[in-house]
Structure 1
Protein backbone atom coordinates (compact mmCIF):
# COMPACT_ATOMS: atom_id res chain seq x y z
CA UNK A 1 0.00 0.00 0.00
CA UNK A 2 1.33 3.43 -0.93
CA UNK A 3 2.20 6.01 1.70
CA UNK A 4 -0.19 8.78 0.61
CA UNK A 5 0.71 10.86 3.68
CA UNK A 6 4.33 11.09 2.54
CA UNK A 7 3.34 11.81 -1.06
CA UNK A 8 0.91 14.56 0.00
CA UNK A 9 3.48 16.16 2.32
CA UNK A 10 6.01 16.22 -0.53
CA UNK A 11 3.51 17.91 -2.84
CA UNK A 12 2.68 20.48 -0.16
CA UNK A 13 6.38 21.20 0.32
CA UNK A 14 6.98 21.47 -3.42
CA UNK A 15 9.50 18.62 -3.42
CA UNK A 16 9.78 15.94 -6.07
CA UNK A 17 11.32 12.50 -5.63
CA UNK A 18 14.56 13.74 -7.18
CA UNK A 19 14.82 16.96 -5.16
CA UNK A 20 13.99 15.19 -1.89
CA UNK A 21 16.54 12.48 -2.62
CA UNK A 22 19.15 15.16 -3.31
CA UNK A 23 18.37 16.97 -0.04
CA UNK A 24 18.70 13.72 1.91
CA UNK A 25 21.69 12.41 0.00
CA UNK A 26 19.80 9.26 -0.96
CA UNK A 27 19.07 7.44 -4.19
CA UNK A 28 15.75 8.53 -5.84
CA UNK A 29 14.77 4.86 -6.11
CA UNK A 30 14.95 4.61 -2.32
CA UNK A 31 12.60 7.58 -1.95
CA UNK A 32 10.22 6.00 -4.46
CA UNK A 33 10.15 2.83 -2.34
CA UNK A 34 9.21 4.89 0.74
CA UNK A 35 6.23 6.23 -1.21
CA UNK A 36 5.16 2.97 -2.85
CA UNK A 37 5.51 0.83 0.30
CA UNK A 38 3.89 2.32 3.40
CA UNK A 39 5.49 -0.24 5.70
CA UNK A 40 9.02 0.68 4.60
CA UNK A 41 10.59 2.97 7.23
CA UNK A 42 13.74 5.03 6.66
CA UNK A 43 16.41 4.93 9.39
CA UNK A 44 15.79 7.10 12.45
CA UNK A 45 18.22 9.88 11.44
CA UNK A 46 16.76 9.98 7.93
CA UNK A 47 13.20 10.19 9.27
CA UNK A 48 14.13 13.15 11.47
CA UNK A 49 15.70 15.01 8.54
CA UNK A 50 12.82 14.06 6.26
CA UNK A 51 10.24 15.43 8.72
CA UNK A 52 12.26 18.63 9.05
CA UNK A 53 12.35 19.16 5.29
CA UNK A 54 8.61 18.50 4.94
CA UNK A 55 7.77 20.56 8.07
CA UNK A 56 5.73 17.74 9.61
CA UNK A 57 6.12 15.25 12.47
CA UNK A 58 7.37 11.71 11.97
CA UNK A 59 4.05 10.34 13.24
CA UNK A 60 2.25 12.38 10.58
CA UNK A 61 4.03 10.28 7.97
CA UNK A 62 4.15 6.98 9.89
CA UNK A 63 1.38 6.89 12.57
CA UNK A 64 2.61 3.57 13.96
CA UNK A 65 5.66 5.35 15.38
CA UNK A 66 3.35 7.03 17.88
CA UNK A 67 2.06 3.72 19.15
CA UNK A 68 -1.51 4.45 18.00
CA UNK A 69 -3.41 2.06 15.76
CA UNK A 70 -2.87 2.73 12.10
CA UNK A 71 -5.81 4.63 10.61
CA UNK A 72 -7.93 2.95 8.03
CA UNK A 73 -6.42 3.45 4.58
CA UNK A 74 -7.96 6.22 2.52
CA UNK A 75 -7.68 6.13 -1.23
CA UNK A 76 -6.12 9.34 -2.47
CA UNK A 77 -8.09 11.47 -4.93
CA UNK A 78 -4.92 13.14 -6.20
CA UNK A 79 -3.57 11.36 -9.25
CA UNK A 80 -0.97 13.94 -10.19
CA UNK A 81 -0.02 17.59 -9.69
CA UNK A 82 1.17 19.29 -12.88
CA UNK A 83 3.30 22.40 -12.58
CA UNK A 84 1.28 23.98 -15.40
CA UNK A 85 -1.44 23.10 -17.88
CA UNK A 86 1.22 23.22 -20.57
CA UNK A 87 3.03 20.38 -18.75
CA UNK A 88 0.15 17.98 -19.50
CA UNK A 89 1.19 16.04 -22.57
CA UNK A 90 -0.95 15.67 -25.65
CA UNK A 91 -1.10 11.93 -25.01
CA UNK A 92 -2.77 12.50 -21.63
CA UNK A 93 -5.37 14.89 -23.06
CA UNK A 94 -6.06 12.43 -25.88
CA UNK A 95 -6.41 9.52 -23.46
CA UNK A 96 -8.85 11.41 -21.22
CA UNK A 97 -10.96 12.61 -24.14
CA UNK A 98 -11.05 9.25 -25.86
CA UNK A 99 -11.94 7.48 -22.62
CA UNK A 100 -15.11 9.45 -21.89
CA UNK A 101 -18.06 7.04 -21.83
CA UNK A 102 -20.72 8.80 -19.70
CA UNK A 103 -20.25 12.54 -19.27
CA UNK A 104 -17.86 15.38 -19.95
CA UNK A 105 -18.13 18.77 -18.26
CA UNK A 106 -16.03 21.83 -19.09
CA UNK A 107 -15.88 25.23 -17.35
CA UNK A 108 -13.58 27.73 -19.05
CA UNK A 109 -13.51 31.21 -20.49
CA UNK A 110 -12.27 30.06 -23.89
CA UNK A 111 -10.86 26.50 -24.04
CA UNK A 112 -10.34 26.80 -27.79
CA UNK A 113 -7.22 24.62 -27.52
CA UNK A 114 -9.50 21.60 -27.06
CA UNK A 115 -10.90 22.17 -30.54
CA UNK A 116 -7.73 23.29 -32.28
CA UNK A 117 -5.35 20.72 -30.80
CA UNK A 118 -7.56 17.77 -29.90
CA UNK A 119 -10.40 17.84 -32.46
CA UNK A 120 -13.14 18.22 -29.84
CA UNK A 121 -16.05 18.88 -32.22
CA UNK A 122 -15.95 15.53 -34.11
CA UNK A 123 -15.42 13.78 -30.77
CA UNK A 124 -18.57 15.41 -29.35
CA UNK A 125 -20.59 14.34 -32.38
CA UNK A 126 -19.37 10.74 -32.18
CA UNK A 127 -19.74 10.27 -28.44
CA UNK A 128 -23.06 12.14 -28.15
CA UNK A 129 -24.45 9.68 -30.71
CA UNK A 130 -23.45 6.92 -28.27
CA UNK A 131 -25.23 8.54 -25.32
CA UNK A 132 -22.41 10.58 -23.75
CA UNK A 133 -23.64 13.82 -22.15
CA UNK A 134 -21.71 17.06 -22.66
CA UNK A 135 -22.03 20.27 -20.63
CA UNK A 136 -19.69 23.03 -21.75
CA UNK A 137 -19.52 26.54 -20.30
CA UNK A 138 -17.52 29.33 -21.90
CA UNK A 139 -17.27 32.96 -20.92
CA UNK A 140 -19.53 35.79 -22.00
CA UNK A 141 -17.03 37.97 -23.86
CA UNK A 142 -19.15 41.06 -23.25
CA UNK A 143 -19.04 40.69 -19.44
CA UNK A 144 -16.89 42.83 -17.17
CA UNK A 145 -15.29 39.73 -15.61
CA UNK A 146 -13.95 38.53 -18.95
CA UNK A 147 -12.70 41.98 -19.90
CA UNK A 148 -10.93 42.35 -16.54
CA UNK A 149 -9.38 38.89 -16.85
CA UNK A 150 -8.02 39.82 -20.28
CA UNK A 151 -6.45 42.96 -18.83
CA UNK A 152 -5.02 41.06 -15.84
CA UNK A 153 -3.32 38.45 -18.03
CA UNK A 154 -2.00 41.09 -20.43
CA UNK A 155 -4.18 40.20 -23.43
CA UNK A 156 -6.82 42.96 -23.63
CA UNK A 157 -9.16 42.10 -26.48
CA UNK A 158 -7.41 38.81 -27.14
CA UNK A 159 -9.39 36.70 -24.68
CA UNK A 160 -12.67 38.11 -25.94
CA UNK A 161 -11.72 37.09 -29.46
CA UNK A 162 -10.80 33.57 -28.37
CA UNK A 163 -14.15 33.20 -26.66
CA UNK A 164 -15.99 34.33 -29.78
CA UNK A 165 -14.01 31.77 -31.76
CA UNK A 166 -14.86 28.99 -29.30
CA UNK A 167 -18.56 29.88 -29.36
CA UNK A 168 -18.44 29.67 -33.14
CA UNK A 169 -16.81 26.23 -32.95
CA UNK A 170 -19.40 25.00 -30.45
CA UNK A 171 -22.33 26.31 -32.49
CA UNK A 172 -21.78 23.34 -34.82
CA UNK A 173 -22.80 20.90 -32.06
CA UNK A 174 -25.12 22.98 -29.87
CA UNK A 175 -28.25 21.44 -31.37
CA UNK A 176 -27.20 17.83 -30.88
CA UNK A 177 -29.15 15.79 -28.33
CA UNK A 178 -27.18 15.42 -25.11
CA UNK A 179 -24.99 18.47 -25.80
CA UNK A 180 -25.60 21.63 -23.76
CA UNK A 181 -23.63 24.84 -24.25
CA UNK A 182 -23.89 27.81 -21.89
CA UNK A 183 -22.09 31.10 -21.29
CA UNK A 184 -21.21 32.52 -17.89
CA UNK A 185 -19.90 35.76 -16.44
CA UNK A 186 -18.56 34.49 -13.11
CA UNK A 187 -15.04 35.15 -11.86
CA UNK A 188 -13.15 32.10 -13.10
CA UNK A 189 -11.12 30.89 -10.13
CA UNK A 190 -10.49 27.50 -11.76
CA UNK A 191 -11.00 26.01 -15.19
CA UNK A 192 -12.55 22.55 -14.81
CA UNK A 193 -12.36 19.61 -17.19
CA UNK A 194 -14.32 16.53 -16.16
CA UNK A 195 -13.97 13.21 -17.99
CA UNK A 196 -16.31 10.70 -16.26
CA UNK A 197 -14.53 10.13 -12.92
CA UNK A 198 -11.40 12.13 -13.74
CA UNK A 199 -11.23 15.88 -13.12
CA UNK A 200 -8.55 18.38 -14.11
CA UNK A 201 -8.58 21.53 -11.98
CA UNK A 202 -6.58 24.35 -13.59
CA UNK A 203 -6.12 27.08 -10.98
CA UNK A 204 -5.69 30.69 -12.05
CA UNK A 205 -3.15 33.21 -10.80
CA UNK A 206 -3.34 36.97 -11.20
CA UNK A 207 -1.23 38.16 -14.12
CA UNK A 208 -0.63 34.66 -15.51
CA UNK A 209 -2.15 32.79 -18.43
CA UNK A 210 -4.16 29.65 -17.66
CA UNK A 211 -1.59 27.52 -19.48
CA UNK A 212 1.07 28.73 -17.06
CA UNK A 213 -0.84 27.77 -13.90
CA UNK A 214 -0.77 24.43 -12.01
CA UNK A 215 -3.30 21.65 -12.57
CA UNK A 216 -4.65 19.07 -10.12
CA UNK A 217 -5.61 15.73 -11.65
CA UNK A 218 -8.25 14.22 -9.35
CA UNK A 219 -9.96 10.83 -9.56
CA UNK A 220 -13.35 10.40 -7.90
CA UNK A 221 -13.30 8.17 -4.81
CA UNK A 222 -16.15 7.06 -2.49
CA UNK A 223 -14.93 9.13 0.47
CA UNK A 224 -13.20 11.91 -1.43
CA UNK A 225 -13.90 15.56 -0.69
CA UNK A 226 -11.91 17.51 -3.28
CA UNK A 227 -13.88 16.14 -6.24
CA UNK A 228 -17.19 17.17 -4.67
CA UNK A 229 -15.77 20.54 -3.65
CA UNK A 230 -14.87 21.53 -7.20
CA UNK A 231 -17.89 19.95 -8.87
CA UNK A 232 -20.20 21.90 -6.54
CA UNK A 233 -18.70 25.07 -7.96
CA UNK A 234 -19.33 23.75 -11.46
CA UNK A 235 -22.99 23.03 -10.68
CA UNK A 236 -23.49 26.47 -9.13
CA UNK A 237 -21.97 28.18 -12.17
CA UNK A 238 -24.01 25.98 -14.51
CA UNK A 239 -27.23 26.89 -12.70
CA UNK A 240 -26.64 30.61 -13.29
CA UNK A 241 -25.24 30.35 -16.82
CA UNK A 242 -27.13 31.28 -19.97
CA UNK A 243 -28.02 28.59 -22.56
CA UNK A 244 -26.72 29.23 -26.04
CA UNK A 245 -29.35 29.44 -28.81
Structure 2
Protein backbone atom coordinates (compact mmCIF):
# COMPACT_ATOMS: atom_id res chain seq x y z
CA UNK A 1 0.00 0.00 0.00
CA UNK A 2 1.12 3.57 -0.70
CA UNK A 3 0.30 5.03 2.71
CA UNK A 4 1.67 8.45 1.78
CA UNK A 5 -0.67 8.76 -1.18
CA UNK A 6 -3.60 7.63 0.97
CA UNK A 7 -2.68 10.21 3.60
CA UNK A 8 -2.23 13.13 1.20
CA UNK A 9 -5.55 12.40 -0.54
CA UNK A 10 -7.29 12.46 2.85
CA UNK A 11 -5.51 15.64 3.96
CA UNK A 12 -6.34 17.47 0.74
CA UNK A 13 -9.89 16.16 0.58
CA UNK A 14 -9.26 14.78 -2.92
CA UNK A 15 -11.08 11.63 -3.95
CA UNK A 16 -9.45 9.00 -6.19
CA UNK A 17 -11.96 9.97 -8.88
CA UNK A 18 -10.89 13.63 -8.80
CA UNK A 19 -7.22 12.66 -8.94
CA UNK A 20 -7.96 10.37 -11.89
CA UNK A 21 -9.61 13.28 -13.70
CA UNK A 22 -6.66 15.57 -13.01
CA UNK A 23 -4.19 12.97 -14.27
CA UNK A 24 -6.39 11.92 -17.21
CA UNK A 25 -6.40 8.26 -16.20
CA UNK A 26 -9.08 5.78 -15.22
CA UNK A 27 -10.09 5.63 -11.52
CA UNK A 28 -9.00 1.98 -11.56
CA UNK A 29 -5.48 3.21 -12.24
CA UNK A 30 -5.56 5.34 -9.07
CA UNK A 31 -6.60 2.22 -7.19
CA UNK A 32 -3.48 0.48 -8.46
CA UNK A 33 -1.34 3.44 -7.37
CA UNK A 34 -2.89 3.30 -3.90
CA UNK A 35 -2.12 -0.40 -3.88
CA UNK A 36 1.57 0.28 -4.42
CA UNK A 37 2.06 0.46 -8.18
CA UNK A 38 4.42 3.24 -9.26
CA UNK A 39 2.93 5.48 -12.00
CA UNK A 40 4.76 6.49 -15.14
CA UNK A 41 6.76 9.74 -14.89
CA UNK A 42 4.22 12.07 -16.49
CA UNK A 43 1.46 10.76 -14.19
CA UNK A 44 3.68 11.12 -11.11
CA UNK A 45 4.33 14.75 -12.06
CA UNK A 46 0.64 15.54 -12.60
CA UNK A 47 -0.45 13.84 -9.39
CA UNK A 48 2.17 15.59 -7.27
CA UNK A 49 1.36 18.94 -8.87
CA UNK A 50 -2.37 18.49 -8.25
CA UNK A 51 -1.84 17.42 -4.64
CA UNK A 52 0.76 20.15 -4.01
CA UNK A 53 3.45 17.84 -2.68
CA UNK A 54 6.88 16.75 -3.84
CA UNK A 55 6.80 13.84 -6.26
CA UNK A 56 9.59 12.11 -4.32
CA UNK A 57 7.48 12.23 -1.16
CA UNK A 58 4.73 10.18 -2.78
CA UNK A 59 7.08 7.88 -4.68
CA UNK A 60 10.59 7.80 -3.18
CA UNK A 61 13.25 6.49 -5.54
CA UNK A 62 14.03 2.83 -4.68
CA UNK A 63 17.51 2.14 -3.42
CA UNK A 64 19.45 -0.15 -5.76
CA UNK A 65 20.48 -3.54 -4.40
CA UNK A 66 24.15 -4.03 -3.68
CA UNK A 67 26.06 -4.80 -6.81
CA UNK A 68 23.08 -4.09 -9.07
CA UNK A 69 23.73 -2.10 -12.21
CA UNK A 70 21.17 0.59 -12.90
CA UNK A 71 20.26 1.55 -16.44
CA UNK A 72 22.06 0.53 -19.59
CA UNK A 73 22.44 -2.76 -21.35
CA UNK A 74 22.85 -5.12 -18.41
CA UNK A 75 19.66 -4.26 -16.54
CA UNK A 76 17.12 -3.15 -19.16
CA UNK A 77 17.71 -5.52 -22.05
CA UNK A 78 15.39 -8.50 -21.69
CA UNK A 79 16.32 -10.05 -25.02
CA UNK A 80 16.94 -9.54 -28.71
CA UNK A 81 15.51 -10.96 -31.92
CA UNK A 82 17.38 -11.23 -35.20
CA UNK A 83 14.45 -9.51 -36.91
CA UNK A 84 10.97 -8.37 -36.04
CA UNK A 85 9.40 -11.16 -38.05
CA UNK A 86 10.98 -13.72 -35.67
CA UNK A 87 9.16 -12.41 -32.59
CA UNK A 88 6.59 -15.08 -31.65
CA UNK A 89 2.96 -14.09 -32.14
CA UNK A 90 2.32 -15.23 -28.57
CA UNK A 91 4.71 -12.54 -27.31
CA UNK A 92 2.73 -9.76 -28.98
CA UNK A 93 -0.55 -11.15 -27.66
CA UNK A 94 0.69 -11.63 -24.12
CA UNK A 95 2.10 -8.09 -23.86
CA UNK A 96 -1.14 -6.61 -25.18
CA UNK A 97 -3.33 -8.65 -22.83
CA UNK A 98 -1.20 -7.93 -19.77
CA UNK A 99 -0.91 -4.14 -20.19
CA UNK A 100 -2.57 -2.29 -17.31
CA UNK A 101 -1.85 1.39 -17.95
CA UNK A 102 -0.73 2.21 -21.48
CA UNK A 103 -0.15 0.84 -24.94
CA UNK A 104 1.80 3.04 -27.37
CA UNK A 105 2.62 2.11 -30.98
CA UNK A 106 4.79 4.17 -33.34
CA UNK A 107 5.19 2.87 -36.91
CA UNK A 108 4.92 3.84 -40.54
CA UNK A 109 2.39 1.23 -41.64
CA UNK A 110 2.48 -1.50 -38.98
CA UNK A 111 0.60 -3.78 -41.36
CA UNK A 112 1.78 -6.92 -39.57
CA UNK A 113 0.35 -5.67 -36.28
CA UNK A 114 -3.20 -6.23 -37.50
CA UNK A 115 -2.73 -8.90 -40.13
CA UNK A 116 -1.04 -11.24 -37.65
CA UNK A 117 -3.90 -10.63 -35.22
CA UNK A 118 -7.22 -9.86 -36.95
CA UNK A 119 -8.81 -9.13 -33.56
CA UNK A 120 -6.27 -6.50 -32.55
CA UNK A 121 -8.74 -3.58 -32.67
CA UNK A 122 -11.24 -5.47 -30.51
CA UNK A 123 -8.51 -6.39 -28.04
CA UNK A 124 -7.26 -2.81 -27.86
CA UNK A 125 -10.81 -1.59 -27.24
CA UNK A 126 -11.17 -4.11 -24.42
CA UNK A 127 -7.92 -2.96 -22.83
CA UNK A 128 -9.10 0.65 -23.08
CA UNK A 129 -12.39 -0.30 -21.41
CA UNK A 130 -10.31 -1.66 -18.53
CA UNK A 131 -8.57 1.70 -18.12
CA UNK A 132 -5.56 1.31 -20.41
CA UNK A 133 -4.58 4.36 -22.49
CA UNK A 134 -4.12 3.34 -26.14
CA UNK A 135 -2.18 5.59 -28.51
CA UNK A 136 -1.44 4.50 -32.08
CA UNK A 137 0.75 6.68 -34.30
CA UNK A 138 1.09 5.82 -38.01
CA UNK A 139 2.90 7.54 -40.83
CA UNK A 140 0.93 10.14 -42.75
CA UNK A 141 0.33 8.45 -46.13
CA UNK A 142 0.30 11.85 -47.83
CA UNK A 143 3.37 13.12 -45.98
CA UNK A 144 6.94 13.62 -47.12
CA UNK A 145 8.44 11.17 -44.62
CA UNK A 146 6.43 8.23 -45.98
CA UNK A 147 7.32 9.20 -49.57
CA UNK A 148 11.03 9.36 -48.73
CA UNK A 149 10.95 6.07 -46.85
CA UNK A 150 9.13 4.41 -49.75
CA UNK A 151 11.84 5.55 -52.16
CA UNK A 152 14.59 4.40 -49.81
CA UNK A 153 13.05 0.93 -49.59
CA UNK A 154 12.55 0.84 -53.35
CA UNK A 155 8.78 0.42 -53.07
CA UNK A 156 7.69 3.94 -54.02
CA UNK A 157 4.03 4.69 -53.35
CA UNK A 158 3.43 1.19 -52.00
CA UNK A 159 4.27 2.33 -48.45
CA UNK A 160 1.55 4.99 -48.52
CA UNK A 161 -0.91 2.36 -49.76
CA UNK A 162 0.13 0.01 -46.96
CA UNK A 163 -0.45 2.75 -44.38
CA UNK A 164 -3.95 3.42 -45.70
CA UNK A 165 -4.71 -0.30 -45.70
CA UNK A 166 -3.40 -0.75 -42.17
CA UNK A 167 -5.42 2.17 -40.81
CA UNK A 168 -8.71 0.58 -41.86
CA UNK A 169 -8.36 -1.96 -39.05
CA UNK A 170 -8.49 0.77 -36.43
CA UNK A 171 -11.48 2.83 -37.57
CA UNK A 172 -13.64 1.23 -34.86
CA UNK A 173 -11.29 2.55 -32.17
CA UNK A 174 -11.90 6.23 -32.92
CA UNK A 175 -15.12 6.57 -30.86
CA UNK A 176 -13.65 4.61 -27.94
CA UNK A 177 -12.65 6.44 -24.78
CA UNK A 178 -8.92 6.32 -24.04
CA UNK A 179 -8.11 5.39 -27.67
CA UNK A 180 -6.36 7.80 -30.03
CA UNK A 181 -4.98 7.37 -33.53
CA UNK A 182 -2.67 10.00 -35.01
CA UNK A 183 -0.58 10.44 -38.16
CA UNK A 184 3.02 11.65 -38.07
CA UNK A 185 5.21 13.07 -40.82
CA UNK A 186 8.65 12.55 -39.36
CA UNK A 187 11.72 10.43 -39.98
CA UNK A 188 11.45 7.24 -37.95
CA UNK A 189 14.67 5.79 -36.64
CA UNK A 190 12.78 3.05 -34.79
CA UNK A 191 9.35 1.51 -34.65
CA UNK A 192 8.21 1.39 -31.02
CA UNK A 193 5.71 -0.86 -29.25
CA UNK A 194 5.19 -0.04 -25.58
CA UNK A 195 3.15 -2.07 -23.10
CA UNK A 196 3.50 -0.44 -19.66
CA UNK A 197 7.12 -1.09 -18.65
CA UNK A 198 7.88 -3.35 -21.61
CA UNK A 199 9.14 -1.75 -24.81
CA UNK A 200 9.90 -3.46 -28.12
CA UNK A 201 12.29 -1.33 -30.19
CA UNK A 202 12.62 -2.14 -33.90
CA UNK A 203 15.60 -0.12 -35.28
CA UNK A 204 15.36 0.94 -38.93
CA UNK A 205 18.22 0.01 -41.26
CA UNK A 206 18.48 2.20 -44.35
CA UNK A 207 16.77 0.71 -47.39
CA UNK A 208 15.35 -2.30 -45.55
CA UNK A 209 11.78 -2.99 -44.41
CA UNK A 210 11.27 -2.83 -40.65
CA UNK A 211 10.32 -6.52 -40.51
CA UNK A 212 13.85 -7.48 -41.63
CA UNK A 213 15.57 -5.41 -38.94
CA UNK A 214 16.55 -6.42 -35.38
CA UNK A 215 14.28 -5.99 -32.38
CA UNK A 216 15.24 -5.18 -28.78
CA UNK A 217 13.00 -6.04 -25.84
CA UNK A 218 13.54 -3.54 -23.00
CA UNK A 219 12.15 -3.54 -19.48
CA UNK A 220 12.11 -0.22 -17.60
CA UNK A 221 14.44 -0.05 -14.62
CA UNK A 222 14.84 3.67 -13.89
CA UNK A 223 14.65 7.07 -15.53
CA UNK A 224 18.27 7.07 -16.70
CA UNK A 225 18.22 4.10 -19.05
CA UNK A 226 17.40 3.33 -22.64
CA UNK A 227 13.73 2.77 -21.97
CA UNK A 228 12.92 6.34 -21.04
CA UNK A 229 15.00 7.73 -23.92
CA UNK A 230 12.93 5.76 -26.41
CA UNK A 231 9.71 6.54 -24.55
CA UNK A 232 10.48 10.26 -24.72
CA UNK A 233 11.04 9.99 -28.46
CA UNK A 234 7.53 8.58 -28.78
CA UNK A 235 6.15 11.53 -26.81
CA UNK A 236 7.97 13.98 -29.09
CA UNK A 237 6.58 12.42 -32.28
CA UNK A 238 3.12 12.07 -30.75
CA UNK A 239 3.02 15.73 -29.77
CA UNK A 240 3.64 16.78 -33.37
CA UNK A 241 1.29 14.26 -34.96
CA UNK A 242 -2.24 15.09 -36.13
CA UNK A 243 -5.45 13.21 -35.37
CA UNK A 244 -6.51 10.70 -38.00
CA UNK A 245 -9.75 11.76 -39.72
CA UNK A 246 -10.55 8.87 -42.10
CA UNK A 247 -13.71 10.37 -43.58
CA UNK A 248 -11.71 13.34 -44.86
CA UNK A 249 -8.67 11.43 -46.10
CA UNK A 250 -10.04 8.73 -48.36
CA UNK A 251 -8.67 5.77 -46.41
CA UNK A 252 -8.75 2.46 -48.28
CA UNK A 253 -11.99 0.55 -47.96
CA UNK A 254 -10.39 -2.77 -47.11
CA UNK A 255 -7.49 -3.69 -44.81
CA UNK A 256 -5.42 -5.67 -47.32
CA UNK A 257 -2.16 -4.79 -49.04
Q: Normalization by structure 2: what TM-score?
A: 0.65
Matched residues in 1 for 2:215 and 2:224: separation? 18
Q: Unaligned stretches of 5+ in structure 2?
A: 1-65, 246-257
| Alpha-carbon distance in 2 for matches of 1:220, 1:145 | 30
User: Over the residues paired in the alignment, what is the CA RMSD in angstroms?
Assistant: 1.4
Q: 2:68 aligns with which of 53, 70, 73?
A: 73
More moved, 115-124 vs 130-139: 115-124
Partner of 2:9: none
In 1, the alpha carbon distance for the partners of 2:69 and 2:131 equals 33
- How far apart are residue 165 of structure 1 and its match? 1.2
Q: Is the CA contact 1:85–1:210 (under 8 Å) kept in the aligned structure 2?
A: yes
SS of the aligned residue for 2:136 comes to: strand
The answer for the alignment partner of 1:111 in structure 2 is: 110
Higher mean alpha-carbon deviation, 81-90 vs 183-192, is at 81-90
Normalising by structure 1, report the TM-score.
0.69
Counterpart residue number, 2:152? 152
Alignment correspondent of 2:85 = 86
Secondary structure of the corresponding residue to residue 172 of structure 2: coil
Tell me the number of residue pairs that the alignment of Structure 1 and Structure 2 aligns.
175
Deviation at 1:90, TM superposition (A): 1.2
Match of 1:91, SS state, is: helix
Asked if 2 retains the 8 angstrom alpha-carbon contact of 1:77 and 1:224, the reply is no
Cα offset for 1:223?
5.3
**Contact 1:182–1:243 under 8 Å retained in 2:** yes
Task: Look up the SS of the partner of 2:116 in the other structure.
Answer: helix
Residue 114 of structure 1: how far off its partner (Å): 1.4
- Closer, same or farther: CA 238–223 of 1 in aligned 2, 3 Å: closer
Are 2:213 and 1:213 aligned?
Answer: yes
Once the two structures are superposed, residues 170-222 of structure 1 have per-residue CA deviations (whole angstroms, 9 ceiling, x without a partner) of 22111210001110000011000001110000000111110000111000113
For the 8 Å contact 2:97–2:127, the answer to whether it is kept is no
1:117-136 maps to which residues of 2 (within 5 A)?
117-118=116-117, 119-136=119-136
- Runs of at least 5 residues in structure 1 that lack an aligned partner in the other structure: 1-70
* 1:224, distance to aligned residue in structure 2 (A): 4.5
**Using the alignment, how far apart are the partners of 1:208 and 1:87 within structure 2?**
16
Q: Give the match for residue 188 of structure 2.
A: 188
CA–CA separation in structure 2 for the residues paired with 1:229 and 1:129: 29
Q: Partners in 1 of 2:223 and 2:103 — Cα distance?
A: 22
Per the alignment, residue 202 of structure 2 pairs with 202
In the alignment, is the contact (CA less than 8 A) between 1:198 and 1:220 conserved in 2? yes
For 1:8, the equivalent position in structure 2 comes to none
